[in-house]
Amino acid sequence: MHLAVFGGTFDPPHNGHLALCLFARELLEIDKIIISVSNNPFKLHGRQVVDRHRKRMAELLSFEINLTGADSEVSGWELIKRHPSYTVDLMRHLHRCYPSDRLTLLLGEDSFRELPLWKEPEILFSLCDDIVVFRRASEAEITLTSDTKESIKFIDFACEISSTELRKLVSAGQSISLLTPHSVNRYITEHALYR
């Protein structure tokens, strides 16, 4: 089975996340997408809502993905740890859970550019069959070392939506109904998040 791992804070999930997952499923022939809600050590100060809300919104994102026929599930493993989580630890965990399956890590370009700052980036490459980076077509080429070049695939993916911008819009009383899945937008409204 070919599994894709898509991690993030999902604070909140938006249509860019949804489109990336659907695009990846079609282009990479993925059997299952695992959405992992993280305690990203780089984003602890920017996070706005409690873990249970982020996990529930990620579940709603997964539900939207599954409406299209894709097989998606949410992992709360990183949240259970109760301290900052690292992608390398998540991939070790998934390797133990799915020892015979192909694992592909899906990354946005911003996350990929931070990769040298990540915990044990060289080990991460050995835990993934592929790392697929969704990059903005307008951005300059990313320089790779010869050690990593063969493990990484790039897909041009222009999406200007960000969770940070959505939080600002909601805080300012503006609608985000066109920028996030309907179920996520409804959840944000019902729980008065980001006000």
pLDDT tens by residue, 76-121: 999 988 777 899 999 999 999 999 999 999 998 888 988 888 999 9
Summarised one tens digit per residue, pLDDT across range 25-65 is 999 999 999 999 988 655 555 445 789 999 999 999 999 99
Q: Which CATH number, 3.40.50.620, 3.40.50.2300, 3.10.20.740, 3.30.70.120, labels domain 2-160?
A: 3.40.50.620
Residue percentage of the chain with pLDDT more than 90: 71
Which distant-in-sequence residues (6+ apart) come within 8 Å of 74 by Cβ?
Answer: 34, 35, 36, 37, 55, 58, 59, 61, 62
How high is the pLDDT of residue 82?
A: 72
Q: Structural domain boundaries of the chain? A: 2-160
CA distances 14 to 10, 37, 72, 185, Å, are 8, 14, 16, 9
How high is the pLDDT of residue 140?
A: 46
Based on its alpha-carbon atoms, the radius of gyration of the chain, rounded to whole angstroms, reads 16
How high is the pLDDT of residue 187?
A: 98
How high is the pLDDT of residue 102?
A: 97
Task: Say whether pLDDT at 179 is over 80.
Answer: yes
Which distant-in-sequence residues (6+ apart) come within 8 Å of 142 by Cβ?
Answer: 109, 112, 113, 133, 135, 154
